[in-house]
Amino acid sequence: MARNSLKKIDSPHFKVAVEYATSIVEGKKVACEEKVLECQRFLNDLESDKWDVRQDQVDFVIGLIQGTIKHVQGQDIEGNDLPGSPLILQPWQIYVVVNLLGFFIPGTNMRRFVESLIFIPRKQGKTAFMAAFSWAMILLERKAGSKLYLLANSLKQTMEAFDFLRKNIEPSARKNKIRIRDNNAEHSISFDWKANGSGYLQALAADENRLDSLNCNLLILDELHSWKRAGAKKYSLMKNAQKAYRNKLLLGISTAGDIPNGFLAQRLEYCKKVLNGTVIDDSYFIFICKANQDEKGEIPDYTDPGILEMANPSVGVTVTLEELIKDAEQAMNDPQLRGEFFNKTLNVFTNSMKAYFDINEFIYSDNQYNWSIEELAKLPISWYGGADLSKMHDLTAGAIYGTYNFKGKEVDIVITQAFFPIVNATKKAEEDNIPVFGWKQDGWLTMSNTPTTSYDDIVNWFVLMKSKGFKIKKVGFDKKFGKEFFLKMKKAKFRIVDQPQYFWRKSEGFRHIERKVKNAEFYYVGNESFEYCVQNVRAIEKTDDMIQYEKVDGDGSVNRIDVFDAGVFACCQMLEDTGISQAAKSWLGGG
């Protein structure tokens, strides 16, 4: 077992990995919160009886990389030319290899980790490392007929790694019976050494139509931040391509981006749950380098050398601290540079320029309160409802909205429920990357057992909320989008009023929610479907402080704002009923 296995470990690479992890856990080396958890996980695993710890594959891969792979371009931080010099792995890169190849399921030759995410900023030497590691893994697994695909969102990006390998292998390719194809039809490197094994590597664009026909044991997925709405489907296709192999590895590598609710951001949240123990996934290796953010999602001083070093593991090797500080100062003084700096140097997600809201403000406000649904039902609150129904078989939402005086603050509270027909759920989840099954598991979504939207399910939700003790005074709904629902709500003895979707009318609810969020007086019970929709809102400023909002344009898919919309409708009902809304009255011809 591991404790006995460790007695046989004399690899200098393990020593480097242990020193790297220990320095971070003990605070001698600055690191983000996620990195501390990762390194503690590694140190715990070394002492655990759960795994066999072996050095052979680690030593082979690192020895091959440092003994045969050379730089092909660039200069070091002192201005010396790098081409032709050996590629010497940095401590963080050795740490990654030790983790990926050093742990085995006891009594087998099966490696523990079959999936990985390496989340680091740009300019950290990841392309050369990724390419060299790919080639070493093909040689390591050659007896199994190794096959590896390098994928990125565009072929141009993938070719960065492929060209690095080609330039390293080409001089001795004929001697070693290695075949290189590099033309418009194919970019591949292959060999067949008969009894000594075979290997194949190909560079592909992740948007090609034939992804579902691939069969391989090794996958390197680059720049996952650019995998937009279809990312989850592509990722699943890639995992399915590896089912014929036991010793397989899917390695995702990326920087952050400006899609805070996209595939990579959701994957990162999953990784954080693994690290903090909320989710158990022993087969997933995680390496995260980013700047720490406060509870509002902000980085108070991003010119701080400690923050910059925390996010950039190759400081002093591929980039200097002085360069990073200069970039930080420019970003501070020039807002148009700030988003790119946050994404690519601090490695944190920012909102798309198209998105209106900063989701971190919503999360911060929500975190100030912790009432449960049961507790909210008992509070002396008058609730107002709203609904946004799909035309046929898409996301639908209901909401109730109220205000509660808490410690001198008028806190607005919205409780929402999403609905989705089960017949269309899998298709839409894959095509548009909507995590409907996760919402269902958490209780934020009702899966209608019908091919189209079930009005009965939505009516029943309002009935359920009333039975729990929520005093719902009235519900607003534009009846031209669902007269049947309108009549069913009346039959269920709700006071339902026609609420046409005029932008000037919705604008008041929108502005009211926006103001409450900025004052940290808004609570949405941590509902992830509400957060998802908030991040898809695009708004256009009109005259007289009015605002017209709509969904952000999709990237070959359809974004959703329905859950947020239902909350706005409910808020409008509250404002009108309590006399807060004056603008609406004037628009309607009132005093």
Q: Rounded mean pLDDT of 224-237?
A: 68
Write phi, then psi, for 396 (nearest 5 degrees): -130, 155
- Strand 409-421 with 522-523, pairing: parallel
Q: How many CB atoms lie within 10 A of CB 515?
A: 12
Note the pLDDT tens digit of each residue in 307-347: 999 999 999 898 899 999 999 999 888 877 888 888 889 99
Residue 17 reports pLDDT greater than 80: yes
Say if residues 103 and 63 touch (Cβ distance below 8 Å). Answer: no
Give the 3-state secondary structure of residue 24.
helix
Q: How many CB atoms lie within 10 A of CB 566?
A: 30
CA distances from 345 to 305, 306, 307 (A): 12, 13, 10
H-state helical runs in 103-172: 126-140, 155-169
Give me the pLDDT at residue 231, please.
Answer: 62
CA distances from 290 to 118, 206, 247, 256, 490 (A): 11, 25, 30, 9, 53
CA-atom Rg of the chain in angstroms: 27
Give the 3-state secondary structure of residue 286.
strand
Give me the pLDDT at residue 523, please.
Answer: 97
Domains of the chain: 2-288 (3.40.50.300), 321-350 (no CATH), 359-587 (3.30.420.240)
The torsion defined by the Cα of 584, 461, 483 and 490, in degrees rounded to 10, comes to: -80
Residues 6+ apart with CB under 8 A from 506: 549, 568, 569, 572
Q: What is the mean pLDDT of the chain?
A: 87
Give me the pLDDT at residue 276, please.
Answer: 92
Give me the pLDDT at residue 390, please.
Answer: 75
Residues 6+ apart with CB under 8 A from 353: 258, 339
Residue 178 reports pLDDT greater than 50: yes
Range in 104-118, 171-185, 322-336, 409-423 with the lowest mean pLDDT: 322-336
Q: Rounded mean pLDDT of 110-120?
A: 95
Give the whole-angstrom CA distance, residue 480 versus residue 52.
65
Closest listed residue to residue 264, CA positions, set 153, 101, 108, 111: 153
Give the whole-angstrom CA distance, residue 558 versus residue 92.
39
- Strand 187-192 with 178-182, pairing: antiparallel
Q: Rounded mean pLDDT of 31-37?
A: 95
Answer yes or no: pTM beyond 0.85. no
Range in 209-213, 217-221, 398-402 with the lowest mean pLDDT: 209-213
Q: How many CB atoms lie within 10 A of CB 252?
A: 23
Give me the pLDDT at residue 323, please.
Answer: 92
Say if residues 350 and 336 touch (Cβ distance below 8 Å). Answer: no
Range in 74-88, 256-270, 272-286 with the lowest mean pLDDT: 256-270
Residue 209 reports pLDDT greater than 60: no
Q: Given the structure tokens 């509870």, which residue do they identify?
A: 295
Give me the pLDDT at residue 402, please.
Answer: 96
Residue 446 reports pLDDT greater than 50: yes
Which position has the higher pLDDT, 356 or 491?
A: 491
Give me the pLDDT at residue 505, please.
Answer: 80
Give the whole-angstrom CA distance, residue 520 versus residue 523.
8
Give the 3-state secondary structure of residue 528.
helix
Give me the pLDDT at residue 581, please.
Answer: 47
Q: Rounded mean pLDDT of 428-444?
A: 78
Give me the pLDDT at residue 582, please.
Answer: 46
Residue 184 reports pLDDT greater than 90: no
Note the pLDDT tens digit of each residue in 512-548: 999 999 999 999 999 989 998 998 888 877 766 677 8
Residues 6+ apart with CB under 8 A from 440: 420, 446, 447
Q: Rounded mean pLDDT of 353-368?
A: 83
Give the whole-angstrom CA distance, residue 437 versus residue 450.
16
Give the whole-angstrom CA distance, residue 79 versus residue 546.
56
Give the whole-angstrom CA distance, residue 252 versus residue 219.
8
Residue 468 reports pLDDT greater than 80: yes
- Strand 115-119 with 187-192, pairing: unpaired
The fraction of the chain above a pLDDT of 70, given in percent, is 90
Which DSSP category does 59 fall into? Answer: H
Give the whole-angstrom CA distance, residue 126 versus residue 135.
14
Q: Rounded mean pLDDT of 475-487?
A: 81
User: Which tokens in the block code for residue 391?
Assistant: 């035309």
Give me the pLDDT at residue 580, please.
Answer: 53
Give me the pLDDT at residue 360, please.
Answer: 82
Q: Rounded mean pLDDT of 69-73?
A: 92
Q: Given the structure tokens 């995590």, which residue do they identify?
A: 435
Q: Rounded mean pLDDT of 476-491?
A: 83
Range in 69-83, 276-290, 547-561 with the lowest mean pLDDT: 547-561
Closest listed residue to residue 436, CA positions, set 391, 396, 481: 396
Give me the pLDDT at residue 556, please.
Answer: 45
Which position has the higher pLDDT, 387 or 8?
A: 387
Q: How many CB atoms lie within 10 A of CB 322?
A: 10
